[in-house]
Amino acid sequence: MCDLKRWIKKSSEPVSKNYNQHSIETHTISESPNKRNLAGLVAGIYYTNWSPYDPRNHFLPEINTDQVSHIYYAFFLVDAATGKIKSSDKWSDFEKPTDNYKCKLTGGIGTLFQLKMDEFRLKKQSFKAIMSVGGWSNREAFSIMVKDESKIETFINSCVETMFEYGFDGIDLDWEFPEDDGVEPMKYYQMVKELRIQLDSLESSIFGKSNRRFHLSVATPGYAEKLEILPIKKMDEYVDLWNMMTYDYYGEWSESTGIHCNLYGNKSDDQGLNGDAAIKYMIIKHKIQPEKLVLGMVLYGRSFTNVEVSNTNQEPVIHCSGQSFKGVGGVSKEEAGMWPYTRLPLPNSKEIYDPQYGAAFCYNSQTKTMVGYDNIDSVQTKSKYIQELNLAGTFWWESSGNTWKKESYSLVNEFYINAPSIRKNSTNIYMDEKCRQFYAANFKGQGFLSNFFGTT
């Protein structure tokens, strides 16, 4: 890896209101409903470097790139000892053969770069490939790293250098989550600010001026308890998109059942755990422009087992929320209670879309298992919500859960056909001769993309 530091300039209240769907009318938020539609809706999707392994067996070329605006490659990790970022799986990232896909580079990162370049050549536009850093399992490393200013500087430099060497169009920060200790939230702000400054400085070094070609987003908590500790307004100056994680509201940690990706809440059991509350908190409390907010959707469900339902005239009355349970089941070895969307609804279960919550669930009366998730109906509801509030769009966690080969069942396709248009990138940085010359001058034939650039 080259040392880009010589090109990069070094940068010199508690929530009491419940922002649910009853707190403010939509028309008071959406002042210019057609403003964003001219650029198209964001349709981002996270691709994980563990997807190629059993049981997912999912590969990047399966993604319909026509239907997405951003592909977030997850995850690069923070090394707590040094502050540098590192691959979490070198074979999957850099060495894995590309199978049947014609690619001059290897590994998932090579395939992603090739996909982007191919799409641009064919259509003169493409998705943005974003390097996602962190994730839930890497959360403690952030807390260790930010205690040392020299590690923060190393982290910033490492992020920008790695992003550029591997052909990414930007960085997505995913620290889950800073503690409310009076220190970590401001360190997060410092990281965001300095990343933005250095990304702009790198761009100016390549092109002579900065137009924010390099993307910077933040994977953002979806509820007030975590949002209120962040200096959101200060961070917003440097953030391009806020990827709101409006899911995981209910699970094995909960006292009672609920749909974990509910758009709306309920007056009797809400507690602000819903996507609408999170979105309106950002807009009302912090005056964040709706066009920068991305509503998260899911390609997995969370289950509860031993859920009893009442009966009226021999018919079961199923309530998705507030029921007692014992255990969560699920098919994921990594996390209890998880079901990929490809396995839903459960066999022999009844699927119900609940408009009160803006999400779906299924219930198997024999196993007494309930699973909450997004389905075709909830994507339609959320798509309408996004357009009515003039939000940026949506993103999904994560791509292995979608039914890419069966479009009628694909949630990504459903959003695509309900969107006025999908935002596309008409300026591919790595197709520009200035970028290629800058890359060659700095990596001198040793960069990950050097062979690609040398043979095109």
Rounded to whole angstroms, how far apart are CA atoms 292 and 59? 29
Residue 33, preceding peptide bond in cis (omega within 30° of 0): no
Cβ(447)–Cβ(439) under 8 Å?
A: yes
Rounded to whole angstroms, how far apart are CA atoms 133 and 75? 5
Amino acid at 92: S
Cβ(46)–Cβ(132) under 8 Å?
A: yes
Give the DSSP H/E element, type plus range, for residue 114. Answer: helix 107-123
Rounded to whole angstroms, how far apart are CA atoms 265 and 277? 8
* Residue of 140, 153, 165, 176 marked catalytic: 176
Tokens for 350?
């009844």
Q: Which residue's entry shows tokens 């602000």?
A: 272
Cβ(166)–Cβ(137) under 8 Å?
A: no
Tokens for 27?
């028309």
Instruction: Tell how far CA 287 is from the center of its chain.
Output: 22
176 an active-site residue? yes
Q: Which of 134, 237, 122 shows the shortest CA–CA distance to 176?
A: 134
Between 184-207 and 149-165, two packed helices, what is the crossing angle to 10 degrees? 40
Rounded to whole angstroms, how far apart are CA atoms 308 and 318? 9
3-state SS string for 15-51: CCCCCCCCCCCHHHCCCCCCCHHHCCEEEEEEEECCC
In this structure, how many other beta carbons lie within 10 angstroms of the beta carbon of residue 206? 22
Tokens for 187?
């360190």
Report the first-to-last Cα separation within the chain, whole angstroms. Answer: 22
Tokens for 70?
């951003």
Rounded to whole angstroms, how far apart are CA atoms 88 and 439? 25
Rounded to whole angstroms, how far apart are CA atoms 78 and 87? 9
3-class DSSP state of 97: coil
Rounded to whole angstroms, how far apart are CA atoms 19 and 16? 9
Active site positions, annotated: 176
